[in-house]
Amino acid sequence: MNTPLRFLHHPTSQPCRAVNQFLLEVQIPFEEEIVNLMDGDNEQQSFKEKYNPTGQVPILCDGDFVVWESPAIAFYLNQKFEAPSNWFGQTVQQRALIQQYCHWHASFLRRGAGAFFYTHFAECIWGKQDYSKEIAKGKYTLYDSMSYLETWLSQNKYLCGDEISFADLLAFHELVSHVAGEILGAKDWLKHPKIKAWFDLIAERPHSKILSETIMKISAMRLAGELIPMTRKTSLAKGTEVTIGVYS
């Protein structure tokens, strides 16, 4: 009897939502385990030793095999379950373009998450402080990244061609958080009409709607001024100016 896949994640995490949607779109059976990021369960040494030395989610456990980093997880699932070729490409050129985006994403659009995190959640961890430099850096990276996306979407219906791929899920869920937290608004969409059309197209997929619900609700709470109880100590946003201990 095969051991069920275990998917360790949290619904507020953009990379987690991207992998979760891939699992649902491809109809891969799995058991989900919510990791309590709010109270820092992922910061525990025991968690890092067992699952991921960085303490980050998502994580996939297939029996004794453990893999982390969202593109690596999705690629593994794609290969193991022989997913439809649109997700990671049919030709060598298509596969290269999707991998190209996944590498680019980690150093560009993903780092723009600091705008969302430091605007809404840093206060929940470290209290009221001046996070303006962090927010400014995140917004710069976000807007810079969107200029690339707009160009690519002027050439294709989706980021890597005329069919949806895992690259689109990665990018979409990053932007969902910025929309939920009102980092992106009407003026930003006017500057990027191709991104808006693409975003709306993916947002209509049933799994997109379901997986966006939690971050929309939590962001609405923060916009209303409600603090989200957290006892974690480290930043959820990587690639920022913050170093360990600065705000503790």
The amino acid at 222? R
pTM for the full predicted model: 0.94
Instruction: Name the helix (H) or strand (E) containing 6.
Output: strand 6-9
Q: Residues 183-187: contacts with CB within 8 Å, 24+ apart?
A: 183/115, 183/116, 183/119, 183/139, 183/142, 184/142
How high is the pLDDT of residue 244? 40
How many CA atoms within 13 Å lie on the side-chain side of 9?
A: 27
pLDDT single digits (tens) 95-111: 999 999 999 999 999 99
What would you measure as the largest C-alpha separation in the chain, in angstroms? Answer: 54
Phi/psi of residue 28, nearest 5 degrees: -90, 125
How high is the pLDDT of residue 19? 98
Structural domain 6-80, CATH architecture: 3-Layer(aba) Sandwich (3.40)
How high is the pLDDT of residue 233? 84
Helix ranges (DSSP H) in the chain: 14-26, 45-50, 70-80, 92-107, 113-120, 122-126, 132-153, 166-180, 186-191, 193-203, 206-223
Residue 173, classified by CB atoms within 10 Å of its CB into exposed (0-12), middle (13-18) or buried (19+), is buried
Residue 48, classified by CB atoms within 10 Å of its CB into exposed (0-12), middle (13-18) or buried (19+), is middle
Q: Are 91 and 165 in contact (CB under 8 A)?
A: no
How high is the pLDDT of residue 24? 98
Domain ranges of the chain: 6-80, 92-223
Q: CA-to-CA distance for 87 and 167, rounded, in angstroms?
A: 8
Q: Smallest Cα–Cα separation from 98: which of 160, 164, 155, 156?
A: 160
How high is the pLDDT of residue 239? 52
Domain 92-223 fold is Glutathione S-transferase Yfyf (Class Pi); Chain A, domain 2 (1.20.1050)
* Other residues' Cβ atoms within 10 Å of the Cβ of residue 99: 17
How high is the pLDDT of residue 166? 98
Q: Are 172 and 164 in contact (CB under 8 A)?
A: no
Residues lower than pLDDT 50 in the chain: 242-248
